[in-house]
Structure 1
Amino acid sequence: MSTDDSLQVRRTEQEALLQQALVVLQADQRVVAAWLFGSRGRGTSDALSDLDVWVIVRDEFIEVASAERESFVAQCGSPVLVLEAPQNAPAGGAYLMALYPGQAGVQQVDWYWQRQGDASRPRHAVLL
């Protein structure tokens, strides 16, 4: 497979992963909003970029959503690795990095969960 072919495969796989994430987010009654930020939010992403997904959860469900984040990300695909990094979590929220398998390499998604009462959409974000 040529480099161009591999990059196209990565783009296609990332879009499919994002579409599945949208389905999961829309089906979860605890979620009130979500957006992409980072390079996708700024419009500077390329085929090698990761996805940064910020999930806004109803205040009363943040503890449950945080505790169930591994099962949440597994609904988007079968991660080959999940990594907790509490220092990346927003105050009172949660973070989880998930690597999903792909034909042209893993797709990284950085997931952030935050209470609705603490949320503020950044200027460079794409609402999902």
Structure 2
Amino acid sequence: MNRTAAAGALARLAAARAGWLDEALDVIASHRFVDAVWVEGSLGRGDADALSDIDLVVAVGGSVPPEVFADPVSGLGLPGGLLYTRDKPKNAPAGGAFRSVCLELVALPVLVDLYLWPTVTATMSATARLLYQRGDVRPPRSGLDFLPLLSQHPNGDTQASDPYQPETALMLVQLAAKHLARGDHERHAAVLRQMQVRPAGTDTALLRSILADRVDAKAHPHLRAAVAAAHRLIDVAEHPSGTPIRAGSSAAGGEVR
């Protein structure tokens, strides 16, 4: 892959992510227990690029089926090709749920951090973008950024992630590759430290080595497609432009439904 091909892949990815978000919003809003949906992070602020994750918050009220909290992905019926999920209860707001979801869009991995938040306490951050509300009452808005806001609603879980767990390793390799593609070597190095890895050789070769060491596709055949998608993302990172394609218009930048 050369730089032109990498730029084309990023343009297709931005369009595919926008399309997925529109489709997901239709599906999520169809559930009677969903009161509001919004995006946080760069999609909320309006400064996302093609490599940005989706930080998606769903405010739920009424009689939510228990299976929705147990498995938000299937419980909500999220669309798209699922590569893997990571359950990290520590990230959930009190009384809610959290699931990190990796999708395959145009052959590349895209991470969705999905938060279910009970409507009685659900609050948008200062930079959140509201996508959907049921009725006339909007969720309250805080003056805080998202992570400080979440910290005000702890659920009591304090367990940290294991960087050697296969799904966590995949996620961290993808995050490191994204920073390389952006030309952000400081954040790339920070992710390597989180993986307890010292830089060695070329950056992309190291990421491929980590995948080989920590994600055994033979032992975890359900992760083969995820490993292949991660390698394709590393291909893109080998030809960084430093300015990935900005996100196009979508539900993330549209009117509230």
Aligned to 1:17: 20
Name the SS of the counterpart of 2:102 in structure 1.
strand
Aligned to 2:69: 66
Identity over the aligned pairs, expressed in percent?
A: 31
Q: Take 1:73 and 1:65, find their aligned partners in 2: how far apart are those partners?
A: 7
Contact 1:62 1:93 in 2 (8 A): no
1:1-128 → structure 2 map (5 Å cutoff): 2-61=5-64, 63-72=66-75, 74-128=77-131
Question: Who wins on radius of gyration, i.e. which is larger?
Answer: 2
Contact 2:39 2:128 in 1 (8 A): yes
Deviates more, 1:47-56 or 1:75-84: 75-84
Q: Give the TM-score of the pair, scaled to structure 1.
A: 0.91
**Which runs of 5 or more structure 1 residues have no equivalent in the other structure?**
none
More strand by percentage: 1
Contact 2:81 2:105 in 1 (8 A): no
Q: Give the TM-score of the pair, scaled to structure 2.
A: 0.47
Q: Considering only aligned residues, what root-mean-square deviation do their CA atoms show, in Å?
A: 1.7
In the TM superposition, what whole-angstrom CA distance separates every residue of 1:45-72 from its partner, at most 9, and x where no partner exists?
1000000000000054274531241303
In the TM superposition, what whole-angstrom CA distance separates every residue of 1:61-99 from its partner, at most 9, and x where no partner exists?
274531241303653223110110111111111000111
Contact 1:53 1:110 in 2 (8 A): yes
Q: 1:64 to 1:73 in 2, by over 3 A?
A: closer
Count of equivalent residues:
128
Q: Take 1:56 and 1:114, find their aligned partners in 2: how far apart are those partners?
A: 5
In the TM superposition, what whole-angstrom CA distance separates every residue of 1:11-37 from its partner, at most 9, and x where no partner exists?
011011101111111211110001000
